[in-house]
Structure formats: C-alpha cells, structure tokens
Amino acid sequence: MPKNDLNTENNEEKKHASYVKGVFDNVADKYDIMNDFMSLGLQRYWKDKLIQMVGNNFSGPLDYIDLAGGTGDVALKFKRKFPEANINIIDKNIEMIKAGISKNPNKSNINYLCSSGEDMAIKDNFADVLTLSFGIRNMSNRKKCLEECLRVLKPSGLFLCMEFSMPENYTLRNIYDAWSYGIIPNLGKLIVGSSEPYEYLVDSIRSFPSPNEFSKILRSVGFKKLSIRQLSGNIVCVYRANKN
C-alpha cells in the first residue's frame, strides 16, 4: 500500500475512534436503560444465550475477557455461570468503565482495563474465553481487532462474538427498519438528550457485513471451527469459534 494511502487510512481510523468515543461518552450513564428500550428487553435474552453457548467443557478457574464490555452486564452473567473465573472487562471508553464500576462496586475477581480492542494491553495466550458483544462494528479496524482477539486467546481458547444483523424475513425487516429509524433516535433524544448517538448506532448496523461476509473475515484471521447461531429472526447473530 502506498505511504499516502496508509496515512489516509490511519487518519480515518483515528477520526472514527474519536467519534465513537464521543458517542459512548454521551450515553454511558444511560447505556443500560437505553439498551433495554431499544431492544424491548430482548438484549437480556440475547446475552443469556451468548453465555449459554460458552458450554461447560472447562476445568479449573477460567481466565475470561469481555472486550468492549461496557458496564459489565455480559461479564456478570459469565461470572454467575463460572463463579471462580478471573474476569477482565476491557473497554476503550473510560466513562463506560466508570459506569460499570459504580454499578458493581463490590464485585471481587473483576478487573477493569481501559484499552483499545485493536491493541489490547494483554499478554499472548492469556484467555480461555473471550466475548465481544455488540462491539466489533464500532472498532476502527475490525480485522486488527479480531487478530488481537486471536492473539490473546490460549491455543484452545473460545471466541464468541455477538452482533446485530439484518432480518431475512421481508415483513420483519420492514418492521425493524421502522423501529430503527423512526423510534430509536427519538428514544435517544428523550432519555439521553440527543438522537445523534443512536442515529450513528443504527447506521453502523446497516453497514456491518452480512453473516457470510463476516464469517469469511473470521476465517481469514485464523479462527477455526466457526459456527453461527441466529436469534430473533436474524436480528442478532452469535459467531462461535476457536483459536485452534
């Protein structure tokens, strides 16, 4: 790649990272309640299914990473399933981490780390399980983030990525579009005080690769044994894969 093109790409990634940071700075204190409103409460069901897909084929205390962990709701579900696990919540946004700490001030064995998903401050081959819930589409360089996820997983490590998708059913897709563009930004304005962060979030779902396209990216990075589980009419997909 020519040097000028590389510089342009890096600048675009920095602009995107700065914009996303601003989005989540603005919504951190209302993040959980807005997730419930936007999903009509389904986000709790989706995250329960994500943790169920971890399975039970582990022995001994687990080292676990929840990347883009926000306020820690997925990590706490994981901890309920694996009480002895070493929990590490990583998020680039310090305001989200503060909101998580204030929500769960007395939780033991939970470590919070403010770090980029594209350059995690974690050693190689560290984690038994890594989850990434509704965060990959906000990464400035998705492939680099996935390469980092692969790096920090142990050779037998498990990767679970949950992300929004577009419904395959025509009627459901029209309802989904009407809800996304007609209701969600207005909810954001009412609850958070601004519609702009939620206009961005809705648009980011539309621009995310299809399940088949994203699966190709996961395989190109090096993930193995890939499977996909569709939830709620393909509104959400969970990608389950292993390092080896």
Domain ranges in the chain are: 3-52+60-242
Helix axis angle for 94-103 and 31-39, nearest 10°, is 90
Residue 145 CB-density burial (10 A; 0-12 exposed, 13-18 middle, 19+ buried): buried
- pLDDT the model gives residue 22: 65
For 3-17, 169-183, 229-243, which range has the lowest pLDDT when averaged over its residues?
3-17
234: left (phi over 0), alpha (psi -120 to 50) or beta: left
**Distance (Å) of CA 169 to CA 135, 176, 210:** 25, 10, 14
CB burial string 22-58: b at 16+ within 10 A, e below: ebbebbbebbbebbebbbeeebeebbeebbebbeeee
- pLDDT the model gives residue 18: 66
User: Is residue 134 pLDDT above 90, yes or no?
Assistant: yes
Q: What is the mean pLDDT of residues 90-111?
A: 84
Q: 12-41, pLDDT tens digit by residue?
A: 665 666 666 666 666 667 778 888 888 999
**Side-chain half-sphere CA neighbours of 199 within 13 A:** 7
User: Is residue 8 pLDDT above 50, yes or no?
Assistant: no
Q: Give the pLDDT band (50/70/90) at residue 63.
A: very high
Q: What architecture is domain 3-52+60-242?
A: 3-Layer(aba) Sandwich (3.40)
